[in-house]
Structure formats: C-alpha cells, structure tokens
Amino acid sequence: MTVLVAGASGIVGREMCKLLKDNLVDFIGTYNTRPIQNGIKIDFLNESELENTLKNNAVTIVINSIVERFTDVCEKNWDKTVTANITIPDILSRVCNKLSIYLIHISTDYVFDGKNPPFSPFSNVNPLQNYGISKLISEKRITANTDKFTIIRVPVLYTDSYEYLDETAVTTIAKKVMNQIEETTEDNVSIRRPVYIPDLCRFILCIINMKRRHCGIIHFYNTFDKTTKYKMAQKISNYLGLSHAHIKPIDSFGKGSANRPLDTQLIDNSYNIREFITTVIDEGIKLCFQKYFHPKIQSAPQDFLVLLDLDGTLVDTDMCHYNAYKKILNDNNFSINEQQFNKMSNHGSMEELFCECRIPEYLWENFRKQKREYLANSLEPIKFIKGAEEFILLLDSLGVEFAVVTNTNMSIVNSFKNKLPTLKKIKNWITREDYDLPKPNSECYLSALERFGTNKKYILGFENTLNGINALKGVTSRIYCITDSNQYSYTLAKKEDVTLIRDFSGFIVT
C-alpha cells in the first residue's frame, strides 16, 4: 500500500503525513508553492502528468486535502475556487478511476444550509455560499467519475500544529483576542462544533486500514461541543489571561462576509464517532495556545525570565533618536524625515537608512559616533512608557530575573539612567557592545537567554518594533508588543502572532 497525500503542506495534509509516518505507512506528500521535506510537486491540472506520477509511484490510495477553504476568498474569487475545489477533484477522481486507485476526499458541512439540523449523509443539501457550492460540485464530480471513493464531510477544523494563527478558523480567533488595542466583533449566533485535525486523521487511517473500505459519503463530526466564535474568543482570552472586553458579540457574520449556515450539526450512525473524538474544545484550546500561555508573574516569579527592549518599549525615546539623526544629518547637508526613521526602526537598518539618504559609506561611522555623543550629552527630557517604571519595580521586588536587551550603546544607556534613576535598578543589560549582529537577528536575545535564563519555564519578551519582534522569535513565542493604533509599528505588528498592548499597566495590577 502506498498513499499519496495531495496537499501535504496544508493543515490536514501535514497532520496526515505525520500520522502515516508514525504508523510506518508508505506515503508521498505533494506540495504546490511551498516545498516540503521528501515531497513532490505535481501539476494536478495536467492529467497525463498526474497519471504517470501515480503509476510510477505505485500509488494505491489518494487522500485529497487540496482546497480553497477560506470562505470569504471563495466569495470574491470564483475562478481560484473552481480550480482548487472543483477542477482538481474532477481530474483526480477520473485518473484514480482509470488506475483503480481508492480516493478519500475531504468535503465540508457547508454543503448544508444549517436550517434543520442535524444532517446525515442522506440529508438534502443546500449550500449558501461559493465555498459550499464548489465543494458540493466536487462531490458530484467524484461520485460520477468513480465508485472507489470515500467523501468525508467535516465541520470547522483546527490543530495545535498550525504554522501561524490565521491558518485555522479557531486559532485565528486568538489574533483578535491577542490584539488588546483594536475593538472588534465576533459572531455569537452561528453554532460551531470544531474538530481537532489529529482526531480526523486517525479516522482516515482507520478507513485506510479497513479490509472492506466504506464507499460513499460519511460524516466526521464533534458530538461533544456546541459553541460560537464569540464563546471561543472568551475561552481563549480566559486561558491566556487576557481581556476580551474589546470583542463585542454580534448576531451576524460581519460586514462583507459570505453567508454562513447557522447550525450544520452533523450525524452519522454508520460507526461510533466517540471512538475517534478524543479532544474537546476546552482541551483543544489549551493545546493550541499553550505556547502563548503563562501564569501571572506574581504567582511564580522564580519561573520567569523577562526580556525588555529599551527605546520605545520601556522608555519613550524614539523622538530623541530621531532628533539626533535629524540634527546630525542636517548639519552635514543631508536630510531625514520621520517616516524614514520609523521604517529603519521597525523593519530596516542604519545601513539602509544611510543609503536612502545618499550618504557616502565613508561617513557612516563618523555619523554613528556623532549620534552617540549627541544622545549622551542631550538635555532633552525622556519619560517611561506608562506602567514601565512600576513594572521594573515589581520585577525587582519579586526577585524576577529580567534583562534589558537593546541596540543602544552603553554610553547612551548611562545618560538615560541619569535622567531616569529607576533604570539603575536593572542589573542585567545586553547593549550594542555585547553582540555582533543587530536586531532583527536573535543573537542579542539568545545571549541574554544564555546568561540569565537558565532553566526558566516562562520567557516573556517585550518589544515595540518589527525588528525587535523578529529578534525575539528566535527565543520565545510569548511576545508582547508595545504599540498603538496611531503608531507606525501597529500595522506591521498586528500581522504577527504576538500580543499587542498599549503599555505595562496590565502587568502591575494585583
């Protein structure tokens, strides 16, 4: 037996390949644009190429998880939807029939309108949007093309092995929860019964191993949970210890969204679903968001290492740095604007800034030196970010191991200490003299981890730029970004899987 997993780089395909490997089943995984280990690329729209590949690899079973699954994308781009959801299953099922290959195809509960649940495999179908329509058409094509198939209809799927939060409909809810700055809404009327993908994959493996395989349509479903997106947002926020006050429940799908069924509860009496559903949503949420979870620092201070950026994160010095660059460049007949500075701070480098300002390379080091001298002697006042001073004092009083990791030189840091004496309570510093490669490289934070974070259970990182976030990614997933909706960093940071906060006030509440 050789299994071909079509769409092995997707959320279902990855889990399926892992399970097949763990169970010593010979398999081949395919990918489209993003290569995978030991995978092959097939043009599924080229029937002869597909047939030759299946023949040459002696494939006996195909699991098709190729799909355009984002409902709103399907609504806006029918051509793309047709290719992934209709044309590929049509060609694949014809080739499988020709070669007598058994086909397992993943379909959806969205073939139903959700008006009179529960729905069995024999219930009348009535999709309400392009996604459901396209998946229903693919079912019709498969049943017309071959008699060696199983179509598995599933509800919303999720997994803890996602590559980014927006990859599944459940984990993407966490993006709204973790954005503590932007007010938003979430559907609180549509009933959802999420299925944990590893449970589905075990079910597929069971079908594969059957001597007499089921041929036809079957439902795989969650018989334990009944929830809404808003209720899931509440569960996620409670687990992560974050507020959900900025998320308002609504009785609709959101402005501009595709129509969705109210309740697509699935049933299937042909087997015992309870043998396969092992993960309910409360447990699934803990699995999915464990890497972002930590208790309150006050509850276990000995378990934490806190890593803090300095400029723009602890202290409001961004304008000081900008003014320093502006004066030095102006004094030398060059110019810089605030947008160029923000770009450099967030996702650029000094070298890129100097090039953009058309500054000859032989002047770079001299300008850096002038900038350091200017800041070290500047009388310009600075202040802490809201709650930052209290946060430092709290960490110090609790005996928490913490360090400041900054791209700023020690001479400038010392001048900041003179202006803000509380900075002198910070014992651990990693400054620009302590490492070779500046942020976004992780060297500086890895150095801090090695020096101060031995055997710490929870590592928290605080930054305010994309460069800083990327530097922290090499060390921890528990990243907080200090930003606000009117700041340059916000539009960049909100795309990242980090928690967005305005200041430190939430950490000093007892």
User: How would you classify the pairing of strands 2-6 and 26-31?
Assistant: parallel
What would the mean pLDDT of 185-198 be, rounded to a whole number?
95
Q: Angle, to 10 degrees, between the axis of helix 229-240 and the axis of helix 281-289?
A: 50
Cα separation, 159 vs 127, in Å, equals: 25
What's the pLDDT score for residue 304?
A: 97
The reported pLDDT for the residue numbered 32 is 83
3-class SS string, 224-242:
CCCECHHHHHHHHHHHHCC
CA–CA separation, 164 vs 169, rounded Å? 11
CATH architecture assignment, domain 297-315+382-507: 3-Layer(aba) Sandwich (3.40)
- Whether residue 265 is predicted with pLDDT greater than 70 in this model: the reply is yes
What are residue 305's DSSP bridge partners? 401, 459
Which pLDDT band, with edges at 50, 70 and 90, does 375 fall under? confident
Q: One-letter amino acid identity for 357?
A: C
The encoded tokens of residue 421 equal 């004496």
pLDDT confidence of residue 254: 57
pLDDT at 46: 95
Tokens coding 499: 């928690």
Other beta carbons within 10 Å of 418 = 10
DSSP H stretches of helix in 378-501: 388-398, 410-419, 443-452, 466-473, 488-493
Compute CA distances 251 → 185, 230, 237, 244, 338, whole Å.
10, 10, 20, 17, 43
pLDDT in tens, 193-244: 999 999 999 999 999 998 777 789 999 999 999 999 999 999 999 999 999 9
- Cross-strand bridge partners of residue 2: 26
Residue 37, both tokens: 């280990």
pLDDT, position 112: 97
440 prior amide bond cis, ω within 30: yes
Question: What CA–CA distance (Å, rounded) separates 370 from 284?
Answer: 54
How far, in whole angstroms, is CA 111 from its chain's centroid? 28
Apex 404 CA angle, 400 and 407, nearest 5: 165
Collapsing DSSP states into helix, strand and coil, what is residue 280? coil
Q: In what order do the strands lie in the sheet with 216-219?
A: 39-41, 26-31, 2-6, 61-64, 102-108, 149-154, 216-219
Q: What is the spatial distance between Cα 458 and Cα 306, in angstroms, rounded to a whole number? A: 8
Confidence of residue 249 (pLDDT cuts 50, 70, 90): very high
Q: In the predicted model, is pLDDT for residue 145 greater than 90?
A: yes
146, 94 Cβ separation under 8 angstroms? yes
Cite the beta strand spans of 191-317 per DSSP E: 195-196, 216-219, 247-250, 304-308
Least confident of 28-37, 41-50, 465-474: 28-37
Residue 467: Cβ-neighbour burial (10 angstroms; 0-12, 13-18, 19+): buried
> Which pLDDT belongs to residue 257?
67
And the tokens for 43? 């043009």
Judged on CB neighbours under 10 Å (0-12, 13-18, 19+), 209 is: exposed
Sort 77 into a burial class: Cβ within 10 Å, 0-12 / 13-18 / 19+: middle
Q: What is the pLDDT of residues 497-508, one digit of tens each?
A: 999 999 999 998
Mean pLDDT computed over 370-383: 86
Structure token digits, residue 161: 């092995």
- Residue 309: how many other CB atoms lie within 10 Å: 28
Token pair of 156 as six digits: 């919303």
Structure confidence at residue 253 (pLDDT): 61
Question: Hey, what are 145's tokens?
Answer: 């093309």
Average pLDDT, whole number, for the chain? 94
Residue 506 has what pLDDT?
92
CA–CA dist 101, 54 (Å, integer): 9
Between 33 and 191, residue with greater pLDDT: 191
Q: Residue 255 — pLDDT band, cuts 50, 70, 90?
A: low
Which residues is 217 bridged to in the sheet? 151
Of the options 3.40.50.300, 3.40.190.80, 3.30.565.10, 3.40.50.720, the CATH number for the domain spanning 2-289 = 3.40.50.720
Q: Are 14 and 161 contacting, i.e. CB atoms less than 8 angstroms apart?
A: yes
147-174: average pLDDT: 95
* pLDDT for 497: 97
List CB contacts of 46: < 8 A, sequence separation 6 or more.
none
Nearest Cα residue to 398 out of 510, 298, 314: 298
**What is the CB-side half-sphere exposure of residue 323 using CA atoms within 13 A?**
11
pLDDT in tens, 104-143: 999 999 999 999 999 999 999 999 999 999 999 999 999 9
pLDDT in tens, 282-338: 999 999 999 999 999 999 999 999 999 999 999 999 888 889 889 889 999 998 898
What are the residues whose beta carbons fall under 8 Å from the beta carbon of 118, sequence distance 6 or more? 265, 266, 267
Q: What six digits make up the tokens of 140? A: 């019709």
Tokens found for residue 453: 């974070």
Query: Is there a contact between 186 and 245 (Cβ–Cβ < 8 Å)?
Result: no
Predicted structure pTM score: 0.92
Distance from C-alpha of 84 to C-alpha of 353, rounded to nearest angstrom: 43
